[in-house]
Amino acid sequence: MRSTISKSIVPSIYKSTYNAWEVYGDLLPYQASVLHGYDVQVQKVFFGINAMIDRALRENENLIIEGVHILPGYFEKHKNTFEYILDIENEKIHRLRFYRRESITSLRPAAKYLKYFVEIRDIRNFIIKKSKEKSIPIIQNLDVQEALKELVKHIEDDFEKKNKKR
């Protein structure tokens, strides 16, 4: 979206989810500002994601969309769409993931994210709350292989349930 929309029109998409609130200053209490900045980004990204989903449906293609901007409840449910949340509930393990990612790619230094760890966790908590409200499965991502197995199992079960209803 950054390549198609000017920073002067939607400045918040030129920030990361965890610091989009900085665009709006201190208009709201701190945590509300963090969630407001995040919500504005979700609303802007929503249109592009819905367009991708519509195209995949028209062309009968499979599609996986992942990212922090996929807020539960925002997207229209289609016959074979499924939502899942991958989570790291434990804060210590969550912090360690940033160091692990840094060891894989120098483009994502842990310090950059840890500076905003409180904001990242506030957004995470908001996503988890919305997931529970919408009864969206939350998969703990402590071990990548185990999380992947659980995700595939959910997809298989959900696909089977939807196809039995036909």
Task: Give the mean model confidence (pLDDT) for residues 75-89.
Answer: 85
pLDDT, tens digit, 9 for 90 and up, residues 54-69: 899 899 898 888 889 8
In angstroms, the CA 145 to CA 160 distance is: 23
CA end-to-end span of the chain, whole Å?
Answer: 37
- Among 17, 53, 14, smallest CA distance to 126 is for 17
8 A C-beta contact, residue 1 and residue 48 = yes
User: In the Cβ-directed half-sphere of 45, how many Cα atoms lie within 13 Å?
Assistant: 21
Q: Which residues contact 114 (CB under 8 A, 6 or more apart)?
A: 95, 98
pLDDT, tens digit, 9 for 90 and up, residues 104-146: 987 889 999 999 999 999 999 999 999 999 999 999 999 999 9
More confident call, 126 vs 33: 126
Give the lowest-confidence range in 11-15, 36-40, 71-75.
11-15
8 A C-beta contact, residue 12 and residue 33 = no
Name the pTM for this structure: 0.86
- Among 125, 140, 8, smallest CA distance to 68 is for 125
Residue 65 confidence (pLDDT): 87
Residue 122 confidence (pLDDT): 94
Residues in the chain: 166
In angstroms, the CA 49 to CA 165 distance is: 27
Query: In this structure, what DSSP letter does residue 13 have?
Result: G
In angstroms, the CA 125 to CA 26 distance is: 21
Query: In this structure, what DSSP letter does residue 67 have?
Result: S
pLDDT, tens digit, 9 for 90 and up, residues 4-29: 677 767 776 778 889 888 887 667 77
Tokens of 62: 């499979």
Residue 25 confidence (pLDDT): 66
Residue 2 confidence (pLDDT): 64
Residue 53 confidence (pLDDT): 86
Checking if the pLDDT of 95 tops 90, the result is yes
